[in-house]
């Protein structure tokens, strides 16, 4: 199956080499950071987590969203998702690897990372995060590979895969809940200290992940002979709609509790993010961009006449993805650190090395995704086509 | 043999690359390490007093493990006094015990470490005793 | 006997994992020392729970607290980061009332209280959130005396503890601190730290082990001796009913920082 990854046309290889170029530049930036320390980033004593941890948080959500295609197919026999499950599982693999890389580049002493395994700490949420992410990666690799291999041989997959798939369905929400627990149990950081943080995370994950998956499906249909299916994409669109509505609703709940209670500690982070506090307003434009994009996406998704047109659905998905990427991949982390425990403000903005390293990790993720999708689609192209070279399931 | 010429040339290049570090470094790089224990602090002691925490053979083989153990016992357990096999007590500290006698890091610690290309990160934090440039 | 490629790879990877695991297990079981070989110094200061009382009436001029801060920072080779305030490292410093006790603001509070230089340090909490979140136990609460310690050798620099501390007591080494440690004034008996680890006040555990008071407490005593008053920093065992700190707590009204968070801070302030 692996040989499918090196049998590609010109477009494939140009894409691969572009990604490798971005990765190369970012790798050099990482060497610079490794030698000089994390001071080359924009982080500070007050804002001690930044873009790397924000991206990690966002991508755990994308990884967890694989469950949104696996669950309906395996638990509820929703056959339309049959062609998508492997795409969801492989997206989860790429996302989890990106998460682990973001953690690695964020560590001050990365060569000591094995200390987390050598000295297990049962009271630390980060220990469990490491466990559940590694477990999820292993599960998805094993399941994805086995199911795809069976499909290639045109036999049903081995019986032992089914319980593992059920396990992965339960495991997926847990990875994101554990990630939310990193934030939601910290005393003194009132922006994060909310019981609904895990619920917010899951809602935004199940809106952001499937929206990316829809975009990937449209790209796959355009550039390969494999068609994930128009109805499957529409079902995903409905999932994105409901979860985005939930996500916006949850944000409303947070805003209500903060501003109706009028407790300064609860309000200050929101005021800093959306209006600026004591003259510090660096993040205000992008937070409002996130909100405007969310409004656009909800408007476009709610109306079936718009959602049914795939071109407009694509635009709505792009808006959804970027809105959530800003909110969770940046605003969430910085909001927790501003203002600091002394009610003083230190602002944060990523530096160029930080941005290059971040881009490189995204490029690694897309590289893994490209290779895995190439393998999966090559298999599906062979199998889903009938012997007359016609698509077995016609696009409706 | 088939392609004999290419194989021979390849072999010669390989041998050249592998032995290059030794040829470049010369005798200096391959000289046996000679850690010096003739620091002023050690010379001040009588022959009988010149005993390290443990025997020379033990320290040669186990000083890495001993230092690892010492740091866990001091930092994590809060114990500061070590009693060796002969009943002599020492304060467990690299900077304040070991380096008080072995005050010549560049002629002692570095001798073997440079030879074996080992770069322990102790000195990133622990302050090495100041040596006179000789 | 011929083995196909897949089976060969499976055999090789299983044997590698098992042999590495076997070696690691065997070496971890090796006994390194008898318990009788290790002990504390007989002169060490011990307590069940160390605590500090800061008497603000004794900190009237900048010199008063500057001496304490310098004593701490010089004893522990704390770097003075001059090129970027974002990378500041501080174990002991001052904040005004509204920043030391946020949530307790009042515009009508007397001027003299608003500008008091409250000394800030790690509170060595009874129930420390930083210890709870550390994934490697690089920061841990010493069972013997309650000091929240730092094991610089184990810290992976994840900075979860910095997020977890509600008092902003922790600093991270964003770069190599050595160039920022004044070589003329450095203390050769205490290490520096390296880039990539978190540091904070550790209640001078190394001085307590030798029977000495913490550096800041010692400095406060010297200032008091010169001025002919009582020291501004009082140090003692909270669980010893006869200790100095308990005497003060029984006589004077004290406040602690953010007690509602349940952390149980061990630093008390007399206003």
What mean pLDDT is predicted for residues A26-47? 96
Query: What percent of chain A has pLDDT above 90?
Result: 83
What is the band of A394 on the pLDDT scale with cuts at 50, 70, 90? Answer: very low
Domain containing residue C114: CATH number: 3.30.70.20
The reply to whether C179 touches chain B by the CB within 8 Å rule is no
Q: Which residues of chain C have pLDDT under 50?
A: none
Overall domain count for chain C: 1
**Partner residue facing C133 (CB), from A42, A125, A340:** A125
Q: Do B11 and B49 have their domain in common?
A: no
Residue A212 to chain C, least CA–CA distance (Å): 29
What is the band of A5 on the pLDDT scale with cuts at 50, 70, 90? Answer: confident
Tell me whether residue B88 is in a domain: yes
Q: Do B16 and B56 have their domain in common?
A: no
For residue C26, give every residue at least 6 positions away whose Cβ sits within 8 Å of its Cβ, in sequence order, or none.
Answer: none
- R_g (Cα) of chain C, nearest Å: 23
Q: Do A13 and A80 have their domain in common?
A: yes
Tell me whether residue A332 is in a domain: yes
Q: Do B27 and B46 have their domain in common?
A: no
Whether A389 has a pLDDT exceeding 60, the answer reads: no
What span, in angstroms and rounded, lies between the C-alpha atoms of A206 and C3? 45
Residue C137 to chain A, least CA–CA distance (Å): 7
What span, in angstroms and rounded, lies between the C-alpha atoms of A275 and A284? 6
Tell me whether residue B46 is in a domain: yes
Question: Does the CA dihedral C205-C207-C211-C215 come out positive or negative?
Answer: negative
Name the 3-class secondary structure at B9: helix
Test A343 with C98 for CB contact under 8 angstroms: yes
Task: Return phi, psi of residue C229, to 5°.
Answer: -120, -175
Q: Do A142 and A200 have their domain in common?
A: no
Tell me whether residue A304 is in a domain: yes
Q: Do A179 and A200 have their domain in common?
A: no
Q: Do A264 and A172 have their domain in common?
A: no
The reply to whether B79 touches chain C by the CB within 8 Å rule is yes
The model's pLDDT over A201-235, given as tens digits with 9 standing for 90+, comes to 999 999 999 999 999 999 999 988 888 889 999 99
Q: Do B26 and B53 have their domain in common?
A: no
Q: In terms of pLDDT, which residue wins out, A5 or A317?
A: A317
Q: Do A179 and A150 have their domain in common?
A: yes
Q: Do B42 and B105 have their domain in common?
A: yes
State pTM to two decimals: 0.92
Whether A383 has a pLDDT exceeding 80, the answer reads: no
What HEC string does chain C produce? CCCCHHHHHHHHHHHHHHHHHHHHHHHHHCCCCCHHHEECCCCCCCCCCEEEEEEHHHCCCHHHHHHHHHHHHHHCCCCCCCCCHHHCCCCCEEECHHHHCCCCCCCCCCHHHHCCCEEECCCCCCCCHHHHHCCCCCEEECCCCCCEEECCCCCCCCCHHHHHCCCCCCEECCCCCHHHCCCCCCCCCCCCCCCCCEECCCCCHHHHCCCCCCHHHHHHHHHHHHHCCCCCEEEEECCCCCCHHHHHHHHCCCECCCHHHCCCCCEEEEC
What is the band of A395 on the pLDDT scale with cuts at 50, 70, 90? Answer: very low
Q: Do B95 and B75 have their domain in common?
A: yes
Whether A340 has a pLDDT exceeding 90, the answer reads: yes
Q: In terms of pLDDT, which residue wins out, A44 or C40?
A: A44
Q: Which residues pair with C150 in a beta bridge?
A: C139
For residue C268, give every residue at least 6 positions away whose Cβ sits within 8 Å of its Cβ, in sequence order, or none.
Answer: C51, C52, C53, C54, C245, C248, C249, C254, C255, C256
Q: ipTM of the predicted structure? A: 0.91
Test C194 with B124 for CB contact under 8 angstroms: yes
Note the Cα C149 to chain centre separation in Å. Answer: 6
Residue B90 to chain C, least CA–CA distance (Å): 10
Overall domain count for chain A: 2
CB atoms within 10 A of CB A387: 5
Query: Is residue C45 within 8 Å of residue C206, measured between CB atoms?
Result: no
Task: Using CA coordinates, name the residue in chain A closest to C200.
Answer: A45
Q: Do B66 and B113 have their domain in common?
A: yes
Q: Do B25 and B65 have their domain in common?
A: no
Q: Do A9 and A105 have their domain in common?
A: yes
Q: Do A128 and A251 have their domain in common?
A: no
Which chains pack against C, by 3+ Cβ pairs within 8 A? A, B
The model's pLDDT over A269-311, given as tens digits with 9 standing for 90+, comes to 999 999 999 999 999 999 999 999 999 999 999 999 999 999 9
The reply to whether A126 touches chain C by the CB within 8 Å rule is yes
Mutate to test the interface with A, among C102, C117, C154, C258 (most CBs of A within 10 A): C102
Tell me whether residue A3 is in a domain: yes
Tell me whether residue B80 is in a domain: yes
Q: Do B40 and B97 have their domain in common?
A: yes
What is the pLDDT at residue B27? 67
Test C162 with A116 for CB contact under 8 angstroms: no
Q: Do B22 and B73 have their domain in common?
A: no
Query: What percent of chain A has pLDDT above 70?
Result: 97
Q: For chain B, 134 residues long, give each residue's pLDDT as a single digit of tens.
A: 788 899 999 999 999 999 888 788 776 666 788 888 888 888 888 888 888 888 888 888 889 999 999 999 999 988 999 998 888 899 999 999 999 889 889 889 998 898 888 899 999 999 998 887 65
Query: Is residue A154 within 8 Å of residue A168, measured between CB atoms?
Result: no
**Partner residue facing B126 (CB), from C140, C191, C209:** C191
Test C174 with A37 for CB contact under 8 angstroms: yes
Residue C62 to chain B, least CA–CA distance (Å): 31
Name the 3-class secondary structure at B85: coil
What is the pLDDT at residue A392? 54
**Partner residue facing C142 (CB), from B69, B78, B125:** B78
3-state helix, strand, coil in chain B (%, to 5): 55, 5, 40
Whether A195 has a pLDDT exceeding 50, the answer reads: yes
Between strands C50-55 and C267-270, the pairing is parallel
Q: Which residues pair with B81 in a beta bridge?
A: B91, C39
Q: A214 is in which domain, residue-wise?
A: 188-220+241-349
Contacts of A127 in chain C (CB under 8 A): 135
Contacts of A335 in chain C (CB under 8 A): none
For residue B76, give every residue at least 6 positions away whose Cβ sits within 8 Å of its Cβ, in sequence order, or none.
Answer: C140, C149, C151
Q: Do A127 and A251 have their domain in common?
A: no
What mean pLDDT is predicted for residues A3-15? 89
Contacts of A106 in chain C (CB under 8 A): 158-159
Structure tokens at B60: 């040669």
Task: Using CA coordinates, name the residue in chain C closest to A42.
Answer: C86
What is the band of A41 on the pLDDT scale with cuts at 50, 70, 90? Answer: very high
**By CB neighbour count within 10 A (0-12 exposed, 13-18 middle, 19+ buried), where does A370 fall?**
middle
Tell me whether residue B50 is in a domain: yes
Whether A338 has a pLDDT exceeding 60, the answer reads: yes
Q: Which residues pair with A391 in a beta bridge?
A: A385
Nearest to C202 by CA among C50, C81, C66: C50
What is the pLDDT at residue C37? 80
What is the band of A386 on the pLDDT scale with cuts at 50, 70, 90? Answer: low
Q: Do B60 and B3 have their domain in common?
A: no
Q: Do A314 and A366 have their domain in common?
A: no
What HEC string does chain A produce? CHHHHHCCCHHHHHHHHHHHHHHHHHHHHHHHHHHHCHHHCCCCCCCCCCHHHHHHHHHHHHHHCCHHHHHHHHHHCCHHHHHCHHHHHHHHHHHHHHHHHHHHHHCCCHHHCCHHHHCCCCCCHHHHHHHHHHHHHHHHHHHHHHHHHHHHCCCCCCCCHHHHHHHHHHHHHHHHHHHHHHHHCCCCCCCCCCCCHHHHHHHHHHHHHHHHHHHHHHHHHHHCCCCCCHHHHHHHHHHHHHHHHHHHHHHHHHHHHHHHHCCHHHHHHHHHHHCCECCECCCHHHHHHHHHHHHHHHHHHHCHHHHCCHHHHHHHHHHHHHHHHHHHHHHHHHHHHCCCCCCCCCCCCCCHHHHHHHHHHHHHHHHHHHHHHHHHHHHHHHHHECCCCCECCCCC
Tell me whether residue A87 is in a domain: yes
Tell me whether residue C205 is in a domain: yes
Residue B89 to chain C, least CA–CA distance (Å): 9
**By CB neighbour count within 10 A (0-12 exposed, 13-18 middle, 19+ buried), where does C21 fall?**
exposed
DSSP conformation class of B31: S
Task: Using CA coordinates, name the residue in chain C closest to B91.
Answer: C41
The residue with tokens 């499957």 is A232
What is the pLDDT at residue B25? 74
What span, in angstroms and rounded, lies between the C-alpha atoms of B63 and B61? 6
**Partner residue facing B79 (CB), from C40, C140, C151:** C40
Task: Return phi, psi of residue C237, to 5°.
Answer: -95, 115
The reply to whether A108 touches chain C by the CB within 8 Å rule is yes
Test B69 with C32 for CB contact under 8 angstroms: yes
**Partner residue facing C188 (CB), from B76, B91, B127:** B127
DSSP conformation class of B60: H
Query: Is residue C219 within 8 Å of residue C207, measured between CB atoms?
Result: no
Q: B3 is in which domain, residue-wise?
A: 1-31
**Partner residue facing B95 (CB), from C39, C40, C189:** C189
Structure tokens at A151: 């499909």
Test C38 with B73 for CB contact under 8 angstroms: yes
Q: Do B71 and B10 have their domain in common?
A: no
What mean pLDDT is predicted for residues A81-103? 94
Q: Do A124 and A178 have their domain in common?
A: yes
Q: In terms of pLDDT, which residue wins out, A136 or A391?
A: A136
The model's pLDDT over C16-66, given as tens digits with 9 standing for 90+, comes to 999 998 888 887 777 666 666 888 888 999 999 999 999 999 998 898 999
User: How high is the mean pLDDT of chain A?
Assistant: 93
What mean pLDDT is predicted for residues A321-328? 96
Q: Do A37 and A168 have their domain in common?
A: yes
Q: C179 is in which domain, residue-wise?
A: 50-270
Overall domain count for chain B: 2
């Amino acid at each position: 199956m692996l040989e499918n990854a090196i049998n590609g046309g010109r477009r494939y290889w140009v894409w691969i080499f572009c990604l490798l170029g971005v990765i190369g530049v970012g790798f050099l930036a990482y060497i610079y950071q490794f030698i000089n320390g994390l001071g080359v980033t924009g982080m500070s004593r007050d804002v001690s987590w930044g873009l790397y941890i924000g991206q990690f948080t966002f991508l755990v959500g994308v990884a967890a969203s694989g469950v949104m295609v696996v669950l309906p197919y395996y638990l509820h026999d929703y056959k339309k998702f049959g062609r998508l499950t492997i795409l969801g599982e492989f997206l989860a693999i790429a996302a989890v690897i990106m998460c682990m890389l973001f953690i690695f580049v964020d560590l001050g002493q990365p060569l000591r990372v094995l200390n987390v395994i050598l000295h297990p700490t049962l009271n630390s949420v980060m220990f469990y995060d490491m466990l559940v992410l590694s477990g999820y990666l292993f599960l998805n690799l094993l399941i994805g590979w086995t199911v795809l291999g069976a499909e290639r041989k045109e036999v049903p997959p081995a019986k032992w895969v089914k319980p593992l798939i059920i396990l992965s369905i339960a495991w997926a929400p847990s990875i994101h809940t554990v990630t939310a627990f990193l934030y939601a149990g910290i005393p003194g950081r009132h922006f994060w200290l909310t019981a609904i943080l895990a619920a917010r995370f899951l809602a935004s994950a199940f809106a952001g992940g499937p929206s990316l998956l829809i975009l990937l499906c449209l790209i796959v249909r355009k550039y390969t002979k494999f068609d994930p299916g128009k109805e499957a994409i529409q079902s995903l669109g409905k999932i994105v709609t409901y979860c985005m509505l939930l996500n916006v609703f949850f944000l409303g709940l947070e805003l209500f509790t903060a501003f109706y209670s009028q407790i300064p500690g609860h309000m200050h982070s929101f005021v800093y993010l959306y209006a600026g506090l004591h003259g510090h307003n660096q993040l205000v434009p992008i937070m409002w961009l996130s909100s405007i994009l969310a409004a656009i996406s909800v408007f476009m998704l709610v109306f079936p006449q718009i959602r049914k047109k795939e071109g407009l659905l694509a635009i709505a998905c792009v808006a959804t993805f970027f809105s959530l990427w800003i909110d969770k991949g940046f605003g969430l982390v910085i909001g927790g650190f501003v203002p600091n425990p002394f009610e003083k403000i230190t602002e944060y903005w990523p530096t160029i090395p930080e941005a290059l390293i971040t881009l490189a990790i995204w490029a690694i993720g897309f590289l893994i995704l490209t290779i895995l999708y190439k393998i999966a689609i090559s298999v599906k192209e062979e199998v889903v086509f009938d012997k007359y070279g016609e698509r077995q399931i016609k696009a409706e | 043999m088939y392609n004999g010429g290419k194989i021979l040339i390849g072999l010669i290049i390989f041998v050249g690359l592998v032995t290059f570090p030794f040829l470049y470094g010369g005798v200096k790089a391959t000289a046996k390490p000679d850690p010096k224990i003739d620091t002023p602090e050690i010379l001040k002691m009588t022959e009988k007093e010149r005993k390290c925490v443990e025997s020379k053979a033990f320290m040669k083989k186990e000083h890495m493990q001993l230092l690892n153990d010492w740091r866990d016992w001091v930092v994590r357990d809060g114990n500061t006094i070590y009693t060796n096999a002969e009943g002599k007590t020492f304060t467990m500290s690299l900077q304040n015990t070991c380096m008080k006698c072995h005050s010549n890091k560049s002629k002692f610690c570095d001798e073997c470490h440079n030879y074996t290309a080992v770069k322990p990160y102790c000195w990133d934090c622990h302050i090495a005793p100041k040596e006179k440039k000789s | 006997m011929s083995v196909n490629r897949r089976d060969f790879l499976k055999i090789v990877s299983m044997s590698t994992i098992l042999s590495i695991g076997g070696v690691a297990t065997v070496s971890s079981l090796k006994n390194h020392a008898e318990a009788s070989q290790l002990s504390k110094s007989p002169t060490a200061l011990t307590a069940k729970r160390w605590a500090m009382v800061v008497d603000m009436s004794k900190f009237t001029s900048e010199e008063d607290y500057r001496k304490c801060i310098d004593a701490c920072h010089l004893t522990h080779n704390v770097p003075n980061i001059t090129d970027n305030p974002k990378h500041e490292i501080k174990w002991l410093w001052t904040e005004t009332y509204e920043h030391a006790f946020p949530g307790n603001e009042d515009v009508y509070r007397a001027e003299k209280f608003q500008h008091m230089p409250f000394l800030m340090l790690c509170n060595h909490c009874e129930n420390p959130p930083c210890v709870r979140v550390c994934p490697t136990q690089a920061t841990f609460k010493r069972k013997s005396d309650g000091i929240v310690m730092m094991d610089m050798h184990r810290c992976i620099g994840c900075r979860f503890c910095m997020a977890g501390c509600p008092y902003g007591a922790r600093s991270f080494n964003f770069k190599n601190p050595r160039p920022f440690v004044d070589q003329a004034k450095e203390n050769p008996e205490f290490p520096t730290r390296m880039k990539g680890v978190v540091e904070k006040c550790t209640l001078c555990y190394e001085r307590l082990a030798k029977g000495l008071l913490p550096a800041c407490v010692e400095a406060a005593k010297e200032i008091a001796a010169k001025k002919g008053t009582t020291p501004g920093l009082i140090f003692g065992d909270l669980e010893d009913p006869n200790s100095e700190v308990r005497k003060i707590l029984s006589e004077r009204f004290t406040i602690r920082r953010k007690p509602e968070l349940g952390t149980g801070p061990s630093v008390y302030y007399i206003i």
